[in-house]
Amino acid sequence: MDYIETIADIAKLITSITIIAGGLWTVFTFFKRQKEQDVEIKNMKEEQQVMCFGMLACLDGLKQLGANGKVTTAHDCLEKHINKAAHRE
């Protein structure tokens, strides 16, 4: 009957190791996913910056051609946004 206790102890040990390994794997995948998301967010921010500058250039061109009203409002608003974003970084 002593071998039954030994088998039970080995089963407990294997279960404990499996639970610990599973927890470590979960933590590892979480941090790996966070790192991937950080890279993706950085890329998205760079893309948005380029798009903002492109929109500002288009609005600036329209202003130079004599467009008024909403073009001027959008141009001023976008310039303010870009200035605020530059000072936050």
User: What Rg, from alpha-carbon coordinates, does the chain have?
Assistant: 29
Domain ranges of the chain: 2-88
pLDDT at residue number 1: 66
Per-residue pLDDT tens digits of the chain, which is 89 residues long: 688 899 999 999 999 999 999 999 999 999 999 999 999 999 999 999 999 999 999 999 999 999 888 999 999 999 999 998 888 86
Which pTM value belongs to this model?
0.64
- Ramachandran angles phi, psi of 68, nearest 5°: -125, -165
pLDDT at residue number 89: 63
Contacts of 49 (CB under 8 A, 6+ apart): 85
Kindly report the length of the chain. Answer: 89
CA–CA distance from 89 to each of 3, 20, 21, 85 (Å)?
66, 41, 40, 7
